[in-house]
Structure 1
């Protein structure tokens, strides 16, 4: 697709002109601006530009939805036109962070840590879905496929090993990303994370059933030799401590001795602190959080499903949905599955369905086309074009999607639907659900395919009659 220079000029003018742009970069589908004054943005003019599919502000960044492939051409043309110079995503984040309050900064930090490792986790979820199909009873036959065809057993075993790797060594992934985010050396973060799941330690998944917990005796102080497989909080806090120690040492130790002293001292001190204090304390906190979330859904699953299923899409607007990645991973590590992520998959479908219904409501050909393409994108797990380009622009569509998502969330919560991993949201999401829960999940999926569509059409007709 060729990019018209006039359209790019209109985008620049709509965001307040080049003098209002502090920095700019792009991701797969969106232009990301750090603007000096977002009050100067003319959203109506911006969203009437042929290249623009929507816009929104989050975490101090003003983002303009363009579309995959095209966004790269638009960005290059804009850089050449304005002379602002290409910026990295980190430059934009640093510039935008200046405008955030402490809570927003905390949410942004979690997002910065978990988003880089998300591809590995999602890939693991898809592979675990394939393993579920091969090993789950009642899908093709009364018995599991590998029991009917034993020659497939080893094939399934290898897939399971590959899929589980990201979760078995999850602290290593988080350690790499977290230490990098906190300003330390990513390599030391990997070592720290793997140290917390070392095979010499007792596996955390067997902690509750163990008759005796092995310990170290440090001059009279007993320290439990327990690993932190599947745990999120221990490695997050330990990564922060490691990065702070490393930064402090690099400032004080001469360059000639840094290779010999910085990493050994930083890892040694962080390791002792982790096993003596950070690990046990955060492990207990993590269990309390897990118990509270599980308890809520056990006591009132309908209420929990309605609230989380309905609120997830609004949380995406604020960026707070990233905080629930940590909760999902904690649930998977502690209980073997998460009941939150299936509602995320259904929320994506609901947004896609509402956008699809807008094709039959709208008369503008550009918006009709955008509704159709963004619906397909949402059904495959990418909701930004549907949510920000269509549904939020026409609020009744967004509300219809929320209602459908909330109802579906209540249904699958009552049924106890769980996912052993985080996968691709949208229609392929069933692959990451436990096979025994597929029936209930498909009912929830049917709700998100029907309710938002019907409500959007009804609201659309009522809107025209006014």
Structure 2
């Protein structure tokens, strides 16, 4: 498809003109603007341009949905005719952070840490789903699993389980790499720090409860001070805080140590100081905080399952709008590491499905070809775990599809939380999400999935018919 020069000029004009653009880049489908003043955006005029499929503001960036392939041409044309300098996605992100308040900056920091490691975690979740199918009892045979009946599949399942578990077993190493990178330190030292916290010489965190009950927790004696010799497998907070400290300590030495001595002094001193702080101060404190957070969520969902599901299921999509949903990824990982599963992630999967169903309903309710096409493609995207096109391009634009999705998601969440549905891992947050659910929870999860598919779709169509809108 050829790019219309006039259409590109209209896009620039609709976002407030080139003088309102601090930086601009693009991803696979969207133009990403860091704007000086988002109030100058003419959203109606922008979305009336033929090549624009939707627009939304998220995490300080204003994003314009163009489409795969075409967005490259639009961006090149925009740079050529306006003189706006080319920027990388990182430069655009940095420029956009000037528009964020402290809370938004903190959330964005968490997002920037966890999003780079998501492919490894999601892949692990899908592979664990395959392992669950092979080892789960009662799926294909009564009171038996595939590997129980077909012994030749056992080692195959074991290898899959080993590959899948690697990302979770060495999760602190992944977080250390990503967090230190975000905080401006050496990524290699971040990996070493993360792996150091789960060293085999330490008591495994998953065995800590039994060892504590038996009074067998090992200790270091540091000049009369007893320090628990425990690892932090599956823990998020210890490595996050330790990574921040490492980056700052390394920066401190880099500024003061002469170049000729940096190789000999900076890395050893940084790891030594951060290591001692991690085991003596950071680890014990954050271990307690992390367990307290886990226990609080478990208590709420054990004692007030319906209320917890109703609130989280009904509000999750709103968290996506604000970007706060990234904070719950850390909670999910903490729950998986501490309890072996998470009851929050299944609700996320159903919320995504609900948004897709509401967008799909708009395809049948609308008489506008452009909206029909956008509704269908964004619904498919949501069913596969990416909800932003459906939410910002369709559902929020007309409001009632978004509200219908919230209602469907809340009802579905109540059903699965009352049934104590849990996921063994984080996976694809949509229709393939059942692969990450424990097989014994599949039936109630499928019931919740059916609710998330039907209720938002039916409500959206009904309201559209009552309103009798001609889109």
Greater mean alpha carbon deviation, residues 242-251 or residues 372-381: 372-381
**For 1:178 and 1:424, how far apart are their aligned partners in 2?**
23
What is residue 120 of structure 1 aligned with on the other side? 120
Counterpart mapping for 1:193-212 below 5 A: 193-210=194-211, 211=214, 212=216
Tell me, yes or no, if structure 1 residue 431 matches structure 2 residue 435: yes
Change (3 A) 1:246 1:359: same
Q: Which moved more, 1:172-181 or 1:60-69?
A: 60-69
Partner Cα separation in structure 2 for residue 407 and residue 413 of structure 1 = 10
Aligned position for 1:82: 82
Structure 1, 78-87 or 368-377: larger mean CA deviation = 78-87
Q: Which runs of structure 1 show a deviation greater than 4 angstroms over 4 or more consecutive aligned residues?
A: none
| TM-score for the superposition, normalised by structure 2 | 0.97
| Distance (whole Å) between structure 2 residues aligned to residue 387 and residue 243 of structure 1 | 37
Q: State the match for 1:290 in structure 2.
A: 294
Q: Quote the residue 2:372 is aligned against.
A: 368
**Cα offset for 1:56?**
1.4
1:309 to 296, 310, 313: 313
Q: 2:48 corresponds to which residue?
A: 48
Q: Map Cα deviations across residues 3-43 of structure 1 (whole Å, 9 max, x no partner).
A: 33332222111111111111011223322111111111110
Q: What is the rounded CA distance, in whole Å, between the counterparts of 1:337 and 1:68 in structure 2?
A: 36
1:70 matched to 2:67: no
Does the 8 Å contact 1:213/1:224 carry over to 2? yes
Q: Determine the structure 1 residue equivalent to 2:361.
A: 357
Provide the TM-score with structure 1 as the length reference.
0.98
Does the alignment pair 1:413 with 2:417? yes
Using the alignment, how far apart are the partners of 1:28 and 1:229 within structure 2? 35
Give the unaligned 5+ runs of structure 1: none
User: Which deviates the most, 9-18 or 349-358?
Assistant: 9-18
Among 243, 260, 273, the alignment partner of 2:277 is 273
Aligned residue in 2 for 1:396? 400
Q: Deviations over 1:159-186 (max 9, x none)?
A: 1000000000000000001001111011
- Shift of residue 76 of structure 1? 2.4
Q: Do 1:65 and 1:384's aligned partners in 2 also have CA atoms closer than 8 Å?
A: no
- Where structure 2 has 5 or more consecutive residues not aligned to the other structure, the ranges are none
Q: Across the two proteins, how many residue pairs are aligned to each other?
A: 466
Match in the other structure for 1:149: 150
Confirm or deny that 1:380 pairs with 2:384. Answer: yes
Contact 1:8 1:74 in 2 (8 A): yes
- Kept in 2, the 8 Å contact 1:201–1:227? The answer is yes
**Matched residue SS, 1:223:** strand
Aligned counterparts, 1:89-108, within 5 A: 89-108=89-108
State the shift of 1:267 in Å. 0.3
Partner SS state of residue 420, structure 1: coil
- Quote the RMSD (CA, aligned, Å): 1.2
Change (3 A) 1:59 1:465: closer
The answer for the alignment partner of 2:170 in structure 1 is: 169
Structure 2 CA distance for aligned equivalents of residues 429 and 236 of structure 1: 27
CA distance in 2, matches of 1:244, 1:269: 11
Does 32-41 or 275-284 show the bigger shift?
A: 32-41
Partner of 1:19: 19
Q: Secondary structure at the match of 2:103?
A: helix
**Counterpart in 1 of 2:109?**
109
User: 1:465 Cα shift?
Assistant: 7.1
Alpha-carbon distance, 1:78 to partner: 1.9
CA offsets per residue over residues 180-206 of structure 1, 9 Å max, x none?
Answer: 111101111000000001111111011
Shift of 1:71: 2.4
Is residue 222 of structure 2 the alignment partner of residue 254 of structure 1? no
> Cα deviation per residue 1:410-457 (whole Å; 9 max; x = unaligned)?
110110000011000110000110000000000000001110011001
Distance of 2:120 and 2:403 partners within structure 1? 33
Counterpart selection for 1:325 from 320, 323, 329:
329
- The equivalent of 2:245 in structure 1 is 241
**Kept after mapping to 1: 8 A contact 2:434/2:445:** yes
Q: Deviations over 1:95-139 (max 9, x none)?
A: 111121111111111111111111111111011111111110111
Shift of 1:209: 1.0
Q: Is the 8 A contact 2:56 2:393 kept in 1?
A: no
Whether contact under 8 Å (2:219, 2:227) holds in the other structure is yes
**Alpha-carbon distance change, 27 to 228 in structure 1, aligned in 2, over 3 angstroms:** same
